[in-house]
Structure 1
Amino acid sequence: MSQPNLLNHFKTQLNHQACLGIFSKTTDSNVVEAAGYSGLDFIILDMEHGPATLETMHNHVRAAKSSQLFPIIRAKGVDAHAIGSALDTGALGVQVPNVSTAQQAKEAVNAARFHPKGMRGVCRFVAAANFGTLDKQTYFEQANEALVILQVEGVEGIKNLDEILSVVGFDVLFIGPYDLSQSIGRPGEVDSPEVLALMKQIAEKAKAKGIILGAFSDSLERNQSLKQEGFNYIAYSVDLNIFSNALSDLVRGI
């Protein structure tokens, strides 16, 4: 499947059904490629909490595309250079953490889109533009179709949620339950009534605006409940933790 087809296919899925992905903190691109053969819909290559360098991300993105896995890079934060560099790799989406205000949301969108939708820094001699061999206009048009996912994960973001949801140009609102639990003084208690109530409040407002919802899950049961609650972008656990748990299951089975 070509890059535009992979992008269009995933965006169509995302608008009509729940899609399942994982976070990735590996530095081995073989792990990313293998994840694609599992049938997962997407992978979030993590530069906020993961150790992989930008050079490694280029290889991760290639590996994902080779197995028809939709590659998204989570940037380090609301930083124009980090967002642009992530998309320069050829990633088909960028996820921006710790968005707390409408101004930050605008800055994230602005950094991810070329004119007239934003002011992303321009260099067409990058992997995303086939190193300058892709027609310039084609590249700019295709690049502006990349997914932009904004993470709202704290009480300040919730306080400013109406204004954030009014920002034009992003595709998915992602709720980080762990950071949300930390922000209300209950770190790690992602299943607490307070955290679940806040997630429900965010979800209701996003759905009223017609915005696609995303969230992190670390249990199979939570995957199902998020799906039932209308979340179409479900990021389950982390590749290395999934690997470790699978080995533990193997050991227990002996």
Structure 2
Amino acid sequence: MKLRPSRILRELRAGQNSTVLKLNMGDPRIVELAGLAGASAVWLCNEHVPNDWLNLEHQIRAAKLYDMDTVVRVNKGGYSEYVKPFECDATGIMVPHITSADEARNVVDMVRCRPMGRKALDAGNMDGLFCQVPLTEYAHHCNTEKFVILQIESPEALEVVEEIAAVPGYDMLLFGAGDFSHRIGKLGQATCAETVAARKRVHAAAIKHGKYVAVASLFGQKDQLIEEGTRVFTLGADVIELGNAFHKLVKDFGGANAAVSTDSVYANKK
């Protein structure tokens, strides 16, 4: 029996870029649609979405049908919030609102096995094939085929981003342009000069310390993001794409209040 390797890590190690689709909806069939589209991974959310652990397992299982990774943005909190997504066999976790190097080290300590951290071992869940692989193989897999993304989303975190980036044991930094612009009084201005400058600083710190760069949205700046060293790209979200598609369908038909000719209706019945 073989534990599943990470598709994103495989792509990044080969010098390729990876694509991610963000899902707010809990239906595993939407995960399958993302897989059919060819995405490298789906971004599932425990921070803002009312998901439950059993359904999360179903979503992760659906992703694996298409060799697609799953990234779970966790509730920022205690040990179980960080470890349980991995035990559901998520490929990676994303920890929001990291503000210090000590926080980053604490995350690594909780989710990595020795010598990188002190993760408590169970191996009786999906990530360990229900104790059907040796513990040494399981521990090695936790450290080499699972990844950790830390989010930098505030001016306070930006001031110490170089220290955060230098912490060993995690894989990527993701700059949260939405929350950062909000925190500096520029709500919704993800491409304003201050926010872009902050993003560039985060990206430069990540690359300097051997971390991959991920983004939450392109914001129409694909070429610039590639130039900054971005390797993991979130391309869109299910609620946005569905909303846009539904609006277009109604608009193309003639609007929500488009009049229907009663003459034509009765004519068709004759």
Is the shorter-chain TM-score for this pair beyond 0.5, marking a shared fold? yes
Task: Show CA shifts across 1:129-183 (max 9, x none).
Answer: 1122222221111122211111111111111112111100011011110111122
Task: Show CA shifts across 1:56-90 (max 9, x none).
Answer: 11111101111221111111115321111111000
Task: Show CA shifts across 1:74-121 (max 9, x none).
Answer: 111153211111110001111111110001000111111112211122
AA in 2 matched with 1:163: E
Name 1:187's counterpart in structure 2: 187
| Equivalent position SS for 2:221 | helix
AA in 1 matched with 2:183: S
Gaps of 5+ in 2: 254-270
Gaps of 5+ in 1: none
Cα offset, 1:3, TM superposition = 4.7
Name 2:249's counterpart in structure 1: 250
| Equivalent position SS for 2:249 | helix
Residues of 1 paired with 2:87 and 2:105: CA distance? 20
- Label 1:48 to 1:199 Cα distance change in 2 as closer, same or farther (>3 A): same
Task: Show CA shifts across 1:7-48 (max 9, x none).
Answer: 1x4213224232211221111111111111101111111111
Residues of 2 paired with 1:121 and 1:181: CA distance? 37
Name 1:10's counterpart in structure 2: 8
Residues of 1 paired with 2:63 and 2:222: CA distance? 22
8 Å CA contact 1:110, 1:118 repeated in 2: yes
Q: Which moved more, 1:179-188 or 1:35-44?
A: 179-188
TM-score using structure 1 length: 0.92
| Equivalent position SS for 2:8 | helix
AA in 1 matched with 2:186: R
Name 1:151's counterpart in structure 2: 151
| Equivalent position SS for 1:232 | strand
Name 1:233's counterpart in structure 2: 232
8 Å CA contact 2:22, 2:44 repeated in 1: yes
Residues of 2 paired with 1:208 and 1:168: CA distance? 13
Structure 1 segment 14-163 matched on structure 2, within 5 A: 14-15=12-13, 16-145=15-144, 146-163=146-163
TM-score using structure 2 length: 0.87
Structure 1 segment 190-205 matched on structure 2, within 5 A: 190-205=190-205
Q: Which moved more, 1:168-177 or 1:10-19?
A: 10-19
Task: Show CA shifts across 1:193-236 (max 9, x none).
Answer: 111111112212222223211111164x2344323332111123
| Equivalent position SS for 1:37 | helix
| Bigger radius of gyration | 2
Residues of 1 paired with 2:236 and 2:108: CA distance? 26
- Label 1:202 to 1:37 Cα distance change in 2 as closer, same or farther (>3 A): same
**Aligned structure 1 segments of 4 or more residues deviating by more than 6 angstroms:** none
Report the aligned-residue RMSD: 1.7
8 Å CA contact 1:79, 1:108 repeated in 2: no
Residues of 1 paired with 2:10 and 2:87: CA distance? 23
| Equivalent position SS for 1:4 | coil
Residues of 2 paired with 1:148 and 1:101: CA distance? 16
- Label 1:212 to 1:218 Cα distance change in 2 as closer, same or farther (>3 A): closer
AA in 1 matched with 2:229: G
AA in 2 matched with 1:86: P
8 Å CA contact 1:147, 1:171 repeated in 2: yes
- Label 1:228 to 1:247 Cα distance change in 2 as closer, same or farther (>3 A): farther
Residues of 2 paired with 1:137 and 1:207: CA distance? 31
AA in 2 matched with 1:142: H
AA in 2 matched with 1:191: T
Name 1:207's counterpart in structure 2: 207
Residues of 2 paired with 1:193 and 1:55: CA distance? 42
The percent identity for this pair of structures is: 25
Residues of 1 paired with 2:19 and 2:224: CA distance? 13
8 Å CA contact 2:181, 2:187 repeated in 1: yes
- Label 1:198 to 1:231 Cα distance change in 2 as closer, same or farther (>3 A): same
